[in-house]
Amino acid sequence: MAEKWVYLFDDVDQAEKKAGSWEGVRALLGGKGANLADMTRIGVPVPPGFTVTTEACNAFLAHDKTLPDGLWDQVLEAIKAVEKKSGKDLYKMSCRHCHEAWLSRHGYDARSSETVRRLLRVAADIHGPRDALC
């Protein structure tokens, strides 16, 4: 079976089974990811979401900053699951100007940035092209 790189917040029981203990879950999902998953489990109204594992980060760094096999597909599936649970189309909710504003605030040239194109391709990968933004 392929490595599981992405856990939805409501997959915390799967993470705990894999990790063997709560401290293992915190090591696997990071503190924030583990706590959001735990709050989801006990019924705190946390918006649906997911966490990319620390193992994925370590694999990325160990392999010359190349995404591990299967990670991207798992992220896309997690985004679809979040959309289904939230009843919201994240692509429609996003806009190029929002991405550009965020990138500009963080020191990127949003107009020519490959980063913008990559962000928009994420949405296109999930939903297919819907407009000329990509």
pLDDT in tens, 77-94: 998 999 899 888 776 666
Q: Which two tokens stand for residue 108?
A: 């990127």
Decide if pLDDT at 124 tops 50: yes
Rounded mean pLDDT of the chain? 81
User: Where are the chain's structural domains?
Assistant: 1-88, 89-134
CATH class of 1-88: alpha beta
How does DSSP assign 9-42, residue by residue?
GGGHHHHHHHHSSHHHHHHHHHHHHHHHHHHHHT
Lowest-confidence region among 8-22, 76-90, 106-120:
106-120
* CB of 57 closer than 8 Å to CB of 33: no
pLDDT at res. 110 = 55
Cβ within 8 Å of residue 75, ≥6 positions away: 5, 6, 50, 52
Average pLDDT over residues 35-54: 94
Comparing 127 with 79, the larger pLDDT belongs to 79
Decide if pLDDT at 118 tops 70: no
Comparing 29 with 122, the larger pLDDT belongs to 29
Place of tokens 């190349």: 66
